[in-house]
Amino acid sequence: MTQTTDSPVVSFDKLNKSYKDKQVLRNLQAQIMPGQIVGLVGRNGAGKTTLIESIMGLKELDSGSISVWQQSLGKLSDSQKQRIGFVPQDNIGFEWMKVADYLSYFGGFFDGWDEQYADSLISKWKIDKKARIANLSGGQQQILQVIQAISIQPKLLILDEPVAHLDPNMRRQFLAELVELTCELGTTILFSTHIISDLERIASHIALLNNGCIEYFYELEDIKQHTAHLLFDKPIENQNLPPYLINYTQLANGSKATQVRPSSTSIEELETKLNTNITATPLSLEDWYLEVTNEKHN
Amino acid sequence: MKNITSTLYIFLKQEWISVAVYFLATILFLFIIYTSGLGNDDPIGHQRITIMMISLLSLFIGIYLGSGFLRLKRSHLWQTLPHYRNNLVISFVSAAAIYGTLQTTAMLYSGWSFIIAWLAPICITLLAAQLVIGNNLIMKVILPASPFIIFQLNQYNVDYQLLLVILILFASLAVYLNYENKTVLSDATIGLMSGNMMQQLKNVRVQKFNILIATIFQALGVKYRKKDLSVAFLQPNNRYGVSSSIGVTFILLFFHLINDNQMELEGISGLMLLSILMGVLMELKLLAPQSKSLAHVYSQEQHQDFKARVLAMIERHVLVQSIVYGTLILLLNSMIEDFVEPLPLIRYVATAALSAIIFMPAFLCLSWVNINFKLLAVIICYFVTTIISFGWFYNRDTMDILFLQIIGTGILLVSIRYLSKVWWRRFSMEQFMRSYP
């Protein structure tokens, strides 16, 4: 794999995808750099699964291109494809197999398959190797797919809502495993989820998919430090509001807006610019998500 | 190579016992053909009968292998990892070769040359698997039927070696198309046609049909709140049946144009009917688990009773449908045949009834989740009874006791089916349904 730390692992270039009349991806552009753990969020139907399946080549795009390790998907060699771990959103689909058979069979197709590691995860997550997959719970089936995906020592790991069926304990263990994987192998991870608290634990970057494109793509720390509810002591003219402020509302004794993007302008500078006093309350990631997905046009 | 052997192991492990069953059945076929005197006076006819019998076996094997292939094709690796796709296709062909080779002895015994005896069953198995794997009507109906069409070309004195070459070309085409079809199948599309309830419910005709079915449910005293769901079980069968009938009618017309051998024609009609029913049965395998949710919608508390009733209705529907389609197709045969040589209509109706009855145990076999020794016993009974009844049927010049034979066969087969249902199948179906969330 010819890759430097400066070259993106995944690049999306003007992706467009429609289902009948509905355009799901609209000129989508983004890049994921090595070692990043990118949490992909968005409302139901925003196109997260479509985007993820497009990276895997499971969905055909209307236009645009996706590059992985700076090569188009079709040109990736078999050995490169073997370094991509993938956990789909669907059911595992091999209910008739036993856990051990499932792992050894599918693991056998990957050169990097680490059977010892898979065994250790099986024991850690208390899954019976002799059990039939049909007899596992939904969460155990999901974690089995995760084990299969991470035991191939992936350089790129793509997970589509991998924790939806997991209990909090298992989720914690799973997230810890992802962090370990990134530290040890430098794995780049893209995962979609609706559980925002998980992102706060492990994501290095947050990508928000809205209206068919990645509207927000920031480092988690930037979102945490530079977003806030702003309370003004008087109404502000709309045209004076900088673009990084959304959801402006007039109140009885002032007005409010939300800063959803990092800005070089400090609160003090903004106070001077708008000629008002501002009280800023930092946003949690979940608040930020709710604000941007319920964005009103100012 | 390691992966190929493990995939092959999965294929064979799923149906390991069927290797023995089909080998046994092959020998049994030949034994019965010889002892019943079928084709004794006509060595060529005898060879043809053998190839038809072998084709029937290969059809079963093909469907089993096709199901296994589809199961493994569900992995996203089919689309993302060429290595996996190559492996699966090679293993699939190898498994077909193993099963096909097992039948070589039987073919050789009937006087076929080694090359035909070895390759023909393999090709027929690969083509029969398309009934399950094929992703469109042509692949599902025409390709599995192609061996029968190809062997009919012998009527024009085309050499069997050449026919074998054509058969190999068709089988290679089928495998190539399988390889090239990169679509990963989801749960909803793993059957022979879409089993997605919601998609079907959007159809206006479905909704009309639905009201009819719901009325029947109501007449049965079933409380229900939403009429829409009941159709999910029956409509797919109808859709598949209608589309298959078109294909089958086309094939039969083709036979009529080139063939004047009644016996073969009736036998082939039976095989064609089998393909329709196999479609229905595979569809049922997909839809049966959904009866659980249906039961929750329709019934208030008696879910188990309701599920049993739904399953019984499906089975009844399969039987009725097989008789209706069988009779229609054979009536069409008789109408065309009347231009050549008037034949008693009763013979066609009788064939249809016989076909319908013999397919019922096939239904039992296919709805079984795991093949085991009990099933082996049932399959042996099924094969013996089927072959004996076909032997009787075709060796009679008069029709006087034909219906008695059919009734006798029916009673025997339904008894086998009933007993197996009481002893094993009910448990098996429950287990089957429990395995789905």
User: Would an 8 Å CB–CB cutoff place A137 in contact with chain B?
Assistant: no
Domain interval for residue A267: 227-293
What six digits make up the tokens of B289? 């688990």
Read off the DSSP letter of residue A297. P
A258 and A168 assigned to the same domain: no
Residue A264 inside a domain? The answer is: yes
| Interface size between A and B, measured as CB pairs under 8 A | 52
**pLDDT tens readout for residues B391-417:** 555 555 554 555 555 556 556 555 655
**DSSP-assigned beta bridge partners for residue A87:** A159
User: Would an 8 Å CB–CB cutoff place B75 in contact with chain A?
Assistant: yes
Q: Dihedral of CA B239/B241/B245/B251: which sign?
A: positive
The amino acid at residue B304 is Q
Q: Which of A88, A91, A105 sits opposite B10 (nearest CB)?
A: A105
What residue of B is the nearest CA neighbor of A138?
A: B437
Domain boundary among A221, A252, A279: A221
**DSSP-assigned beta bridge partners for residue A16:** A63
Higher pLDDT: B242 or B429? It is B242
A78 and A170 assigned to the same domain: yes
Measured distance CA(A231)–CA(A224) in Å, rounded: 18
Count of structural domains within chain A: 2
Beta strand pairing status for A205-210 and A37-41? parallel
CA angle in degrees (0–180, nearest 5) for B116-B147-B165: 45
Read off the DSSP letter of residue B235. H
A77 and A188 assigned to the same domain: yes
Q: Do A143 and B38 contact (CB within 8 A), yes or no?
A: no
The pLDDT score that the predictor gives to residue A40 is 93
**DSSP-assigned beta bridge partners for residue B49:** none
Give residues with Cβ within 8 angstroms of B92, minimum separation 6: B11, B65, B68, B69, B129, B175, B178
pLDDT band at A68 (very low <50, low <70, confident <90, very high): very high
Give residues with Cβ within 8 angstroms of B65, minimum separation 6: B11, B15, B92, B95, B96, B99, B125, B129
> Measured between CA atoms, how close is A162 to chain B, in angstroms?
16
3-class SS at B128?
A: helix
What six digits make up the tokens of B159? 């050499």
Cα first-last separation, chain B: 36
Domain boundaries, chain B: 1-185
Q: Stretch A203-228: mean pLDDT, rounded?
A: 88
A70 and A188 assigned to the same domain: yes
Q: Do A288 and A227 contact (CB within 8 A), yes or no?
A: yes
CA angle in degrees (0–180, nearest 5) for A24-A242-A207: 35
Contact A58 B184 (CB under 8 A): yes
A162 and A75 assigned to the same domain: yes
Residue A123 inside a domain? The answer is: no
Q: Which of B79, B84, B186 sits opposite A90 (nearest CB)?
A: B186
Residue A195 inside a domain? The answer is: yes
What six digits make up the tokens of B125? 């198995």
Residue A141 Cα to chain centre, angstroms: 21
Measured distance CA(A176)–CA(B153) in Å, rounded: 67
Domain boundary among A182, A199, A221: A221
The pLDDT score that the predictor gives to residue A51 is 92
Whether this model's pTM surpasses 0.80 = no
Chain B partners within 8 Å of A93 (Cβ): 74-75, 187
Q: Stretch A67-71: mean pLDDT, rounded?
A: 91
Least confident among A243-247, B153-157, B322-326: B322-326
Chain B partners within 8 Å of A91 (Cβ): 187
Residue A212 inside a domain? The answer is: yes
**pLDDT tens readout for residues B291-334:** 555 556 555 555 666 666 666 655 555 555 555 555 555 555 55
pLDDT above 50 (res B187)? no
A232 and A217 assigned to the same domain: no
Q: Stretch B7-11: mean pLDDT, rounded?
A: 81
Domain boundary among A180, A196, A221: A221
Supply the mean pLDDT for chain A. Answer: 85
Chain B partners within 8 Å of A74 (Cβ): none
